[in-house]
Amino acid sequence: MDIVIPLFDRFEPLDAIGPYEILGHVPGAEVRFVAPEPGRVTDALGALTVDVPTRYSEIGSCDVLLVPGGAGARALVADEDFLDWVRAVHGESGFTTSVCTGALVLGAAGLLKGLTATTHWAAVAELEVHGATYTAERVVRHDRIITSAGVSAGIDMALRLAALLTDDLTAQAIQLCTEYDPQPPFDTGSVAKAPAAVLERTRTLG
């Protein structure tokens, strides 16, 4: 089972690493990172570098394509070579998925037109430019296409995907293995719950 996650400069680290942690436990799965060019890519926060040996164009097909988001995803929206690759891989994949603003890439590739989809709450307008209708659901599935909301939602999506690739029991075992049992100290994890002051402070963060 071949799972491919493209990385790029200024990718959001948890978008990629959260699902990698979950999907790496799927029996028989191999998770591979690819990049626009072989070499090091640096995350959006600036301190995490990943050495990626494989150019995305070397991959012609895979069972699962997972596109993370981050500031660098917006550059890919205008990269026709990359979008052509996404379309081609999607044509053969079992599932094509996104986390956060990775949905903008799927949208720019024409995969979300006419569908409901989710992304980070700050990117709703950009998503709908591509013909998708935003929904605030954390994970949205349309047959082979699955989108998930911002950053941490990729873990939820990956667990659902693990169940689809194997079975509920295995996915639950992976959840226990990773001790994914969120108990956040604050209840401000969505725009619907966050007070105005929290939303305003969020807009000042890098």
User: Among all residues, which ones are annotated catalytic?
Assistant: 100
User: In this structure, what DSSP letter does residue 111 have?
Assistant: S
Tell me phi and psi for residue 161, to 5 degrees.
-65, -40
Tell me the H-state helices in 96-179. Answer: 102-108, 124-128, 153-165, 168-177
Dmax (CA) for the chain in angstroms is 47
* Among the listed residues 176, 151, 61, 50, the one whose alpha carbon sits nearest the alpha carbon of residue 98: 151
**How many C-alpha atoms does 119 have within 13 Å on its Cβ side?**
29
Is residue 3 a contact partner of residue 31, using CB atoms and an 8 Å limit?
yes
Where residue 186 falls (left for φ over 0; alpha for ψ -120 to 50; beta otherwise) is: beta
Angle at 119 between CA 118 and CA 120, to 5 degrees: 140
Q: Amino acid identity of 22?
A: I
Q: 205: burial class by Cβ within 10 Å (0-12, 13-18, 19+)?
A: exposed
